[in-house]
Amino acid sequence: MRILFVDDDPDTRALAIRAVTQEFPDAEVREAPDLNGLDELLREQAPDILVTDYDLRWSDGIAVFDKVKAANPFCCTVMFTGTGNEELAVRVLKHGFDDYVVKGAKQLRRLAMAVRSAFDRRRELLELGENRDLVLKELYHRLHNNLQIVISLLRMTEKAITNAGDREQLADLQRRIQALSALQEEFYRSEDFRRVDFAAFMERLSGSLAGLSGGRVRLALRLEAVELPVDLAVPFGLIANEVLTNSLKHAFPDDRTGQLSVTLQATAGGAVLTIVDDGAGYPENLDLSVASGVGMRLIRRLTDQIGGEVSYERGEVGALCRISVPL
């Protein structure tokens, strides 16, 4: 437990320390009388509790708050000042302070109780957050397992179907669910369940789909580090699955060999995924903007859902698809 007191009046600082340490007798007390002292303390180790004045000769309490929170976002913070008013109190609390106490000899007990209350609330929130993360991790794990069961059931059903077209539709459905399962796996591995390592997902997805070609299609990956929020990663991942599947299914007919290149780039406003093959290319008479296949309709619908853009290019050899999504 480390408590940092920031006040350029040594007498007031001493009174505040005496009052607060009655609530935290085993705490390690640190004092910052000036900016250099504050910076040095933060370089050594961030505090768990901050008690700061507002009006400092060398700075102000809000600037001190920002420095401390940058070092430890979970630090609980109380302002103890004699220069403020109701307007400042509102500003301080809106900025993120846990409490605000007006200076005065009769307020020292109030300060100690405010610090204790703020610390206990922050500890409860952290414990709730840890419990929530454990529950989410278990839910993601169970969902991943359930998706694997669904995939297994689809494979069993596919083997029992004699019609080739029906079997192919079931195989496509399996690949879509497998893409969702791969995304769930990335959620499970991540420490932040609100975001997903999309580059890692694309590496797993591309390798899995290219492996279905039996080595006929070489895979070239150039994936920049891109983290996406879950609500964007899921539709974007499904779009990527459809484009990759279409390329592997149609670009290399009759056991043709070739190469599939996948590039993921981070941009100032989002991310761009480019998938290029050196295969047969798009048919000349096919209008890709209105193509009515299930995969193409799914790509258009998901792209509209996330406010993205998809474009197709016919090359002298092969084809290119580029998907841009905003963050």
Q: Which amino acid is at 226?
A: V
Looking at residue 148, its pLDDT comes to: 72
- Residue 88: the pLDDT is 87
Q: What is the pLDDT of residue 23?
A: 93
Is 122 within a domain?
yes
Instruction: Give the mean pLDDT of the chain.
Output: 86
Highest-pLDDT range among 128-132, 139-143, 184-188, 266-270: 266-270
What integer is the mean pLDDT of 15-42? 93
The answer to whether residue 79 scores a pLDDT higher than 80 is: yes
Which of 64-78, 159-173, 175-189 has maximum average pLDDT?
A: 64-78
Residue 293 within any structural domain of the chain: yes
Given this model, what pLDDT does residue 100 score?
92
pLDDT in the model for residue 262: 95
Query: Which 8-state DSSP code applies to residue 257?
Result: -
Q: Are residues 200 and 86 in the same domain?
A: no
Closest listed residue to residue 258, CA positions, set 202, 215, 221, 209: 215
pLDDT at residue 201 greater than cutoff 70: yes
**In this structure, what CATH number is given to the domain that contains residue 62?**
3.40.50.2300
3-7, 86-90, 201-205, 215-219, range with greatest mean pLDDT: 3-7
Residues 212, 98, single domain; the answer is no
Residue with tokens 């796996």: 185
pLDDT value of position 221? 95
In this predicted structure, what is the pLDDT of residue 24? 94
Evaluate if residue 269 carries a pLDDT over 90.
no
* pLDDT at site 155: 80
Confidence label for 178 from pLDDT (cuts 50, 70 and 90): confident
From 101, 126, 151, the end of a domain falls on: 126
Q: What percent of the chain has pLDDT over 70?
A: 88
> What stretches of the chain adopt beta strand conformation (E)?
2-6, 28-32, 49-52, 76-81, 99-102, 195-197, 217-223, 227-229, 258-267, 270-277, 309-314, 319-326
Say whether pLDDT at 212 is over 90.
Answer: no
Domain region containing 120: 2-126
Confidence of residue 138 (pLDDT cuts 50, 70, 90): low
Domain annotation covers residue 175: no
Q: Beta partners for 218?
A: 259
Q: Are 212 and 326 within one domain?
A: yes
Higher-confidence residue: 185 or 277?
277
Instruction: Tell me the mean pLDDT in the region 160-178.
Output: 84
Give the model's pLDDT for residue 170.
Answer: 84
Determine, yes or no, domain membership for 183: no
Does residue 245 fall inside a structural domain? yes
Residues 203 and 121 in one domain: no
Quote the crossing angle between the two packed helices 61-71 and 86-95, to the nearest 10°. Answer: 10
Residue 183, token pair as written in the block: 């995304």
Is 84 buried (19+), middle (13-18) or exposed (0-12) by CB count in 10 A?
buried
Give the Å distances, CA to CA, from 308 to 3, 102, 262, 273, 291: 48, 52, 18, 11, 18
Domain count, the chain: 2
Q: Under a CB-based contact definition with an 8 Å cutoff, are residues 54 and 88 in contact?
A: yes
Q: Which of the listed residues 98, 126, 154 is the one where a domain comes to its end?
A: 126
CA-CA distance, 44 to 62, in Å (whole number)? 21
pLDDT of amino acid 198: 92
Average pLDDT over residues 258-280: 92
Last residue of a domain, one of 79, 101, 126: 126
- pLDDT bracket for residue 160 (50, 70, 90): confident
Integer angstrom CA distances of residue 181 from 20, 136, 140, 185, 201: 51, 16, 10, 6, 10
CATH number of the domain within which 294 lies: 3.30.565.10
